[in-house]
């Protein structure tokens, strides 16, 4: 504090000048643009991307990698190198499970290491076809929440080797959205995994209220959780659509971050980021990506949560020396 500033105080208590105090704050001499460049780890790519608030420094394992696109060959090699893991999650928007189940079975059979949980959106299962549809997947238990309409519907395929507790208190289905949750009790942290489908052009506030209710319950569980699904909210429009910006701010308030930052749905005239994966896990690096597989007009997305044993117990800490 400046002596000159202190002399301006009319009371015995010290007077703190805003400029003097600001000068003592690290990075105070940097502009907003310079600070943004420091944390903007996303490369200059031709396609649209959403800037995630993380860097890709391998010395800091608490920060996730940037997601990438993988064809089947590169995806198989990638997951083969990630055998020390806690969870392997995959999400697919299939646009009719009854029609696309053979494609899903074929795709998984070609992977040397299969997902622990496969989240499905747009199952299109409802009261008219649920009983006659074959939706069994070898090696998995199936939990699902059917749609009130002819579209929508969500499901979770959970490996038989996992002990999954169906959370009926967090599962819901309306004309606007469907959601289903399970708790995995094999893992010491007992992570929660949920899948969400929000119908296009549905009531945005109603969906946000439901998600708020789920996040509030999850915050009381004190456990890691993962939310996969098709939110039908294009995060690439965060700077041009106030509803998208509000949703991003809403998730930030709960300390959850998205792991997908590139388009997941492509058409002849557009590319959108509708499918995503959110988590509150920040202790370890979570590997995420997008699979190039034409199961529908949506690409599948995945994440691999590595075992904490694969990381050093200590990490480098950096501090700025103030003179």
Q: What is the pTM for the complete model shown?
A: 0.77
Q: What is the pLDDT of residue 293?
A: 92
CB distance 265 to 293 below 8 Å: no
Pairwise pLDDT comparison (43 vs 124), residue with the higher score: 124
In the chain, which ranges are E strands? 68-70, 85-93, 117-121, 140-145, 154-159, 164-166, 172-173, 177-184, 192-198, 225-230, 257-258, 265-266, 271-272, 275-279, 287-291, 301-306
Among the residue ranges 33-37, 139-143, 150-154, 309-313, the one predicted with the least confidence is 309-313
pLDDT in tens, 179-232: 999 999 987 889 999 999 999 999 999 999 999 999 999 988 889 999 999 999
Does the structure show a pLDDT above 80 at 144?
Answer: yes
**pLDDT for 155-184, tens place per residue?**
999 999 999 999 999 999 998 999 999 999
User: Looking at per-residue confidence, does 168 or 42 come out higher?
Assistant: 168
Domain ranges of the chain: 3-30, 68-310
Q: Which fold has domain 68-310?
A: Deoxyribonuclease I; Chain A (3.60.10)
Q: Is the pLDDT of residue 98 over 80?
A: yes
Q: Where residue 24 falls among pLDDT bands split at 50, 70, 90?
A: low
- pLDDT at position 247: 94
Q: What is the pLDDT of residues 269-306, one digit of tens each?
A: 999 999 999 999 988 889 999 999 988 999 999 999 99
Contact (Cβ atoms closer than 8 angstroms) between residue 110 and residue 116:
no
With tokens 């969906």, the residue in question is: 207
């Amino acid at each position: 504090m400046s002596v000159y500033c202190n002399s301006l105080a009319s009371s015995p208590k010290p007077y703190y000048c805003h400029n003097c105090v600001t000068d003592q704050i690290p990075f105070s001499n940097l502009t907003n643009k310079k600070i943004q460049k420091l944390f903007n780890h996303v490369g200059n790519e031709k396609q649209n991307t959403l800037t995630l608030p993380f860097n890709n420094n391998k010395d800091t394992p608490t920060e996730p990698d940037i997601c990438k696109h993988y064809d089947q060959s590169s995806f198989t090699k990638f997951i083969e190198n990630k055998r020390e893991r806690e969870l392997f999650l995959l999400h697919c928007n299939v646009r009719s499970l009854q029609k696309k189940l053979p494609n899903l079975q074929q795709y998984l059979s070609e992977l040397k290491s299969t997902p622990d949980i496969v989240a499905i959106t747009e199952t299109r299962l409802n009261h008219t076809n649920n009983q006659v549809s074959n939706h069994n997947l070898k090696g998995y238990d199936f939990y699902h929440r059917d749609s009130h309409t002819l579209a929508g519907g969500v499901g979770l395929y959970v490996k038989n080797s996992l002990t999954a507790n169906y959370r009926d208190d967090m599962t819901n289905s309306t004309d606007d959205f469907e959601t289903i949750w399970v708790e995995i009790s094999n893992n010491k942290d007992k992570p929660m995994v949920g899948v969400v489908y929000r119908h296009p052009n549905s009531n945005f506030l109603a969906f946000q209220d439901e998600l708020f209710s789920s996040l509030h319950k999850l915050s009381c569980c004190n456990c890691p959780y993962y939310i996969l699904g098709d939110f039908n909210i294009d995060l690439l429009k965060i700077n041009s659509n106030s509803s998208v910006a509000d949703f991003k701010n809403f998730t930030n308030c709960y300390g959850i971050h998205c792991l997908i930052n590139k388009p997941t749905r492509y058409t002849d005239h557009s590319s959108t980021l509708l499918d995503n994966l959110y988590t509150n896990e920040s202790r370890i690096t979570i590997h995420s990506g997008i699979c190039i597989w034409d199961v529908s007009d949506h690409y599948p997305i995945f994440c691999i949560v590595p075992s904490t044993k694969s990381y050093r117990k200590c990490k480098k800490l950096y501090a700025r020396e103030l003179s």
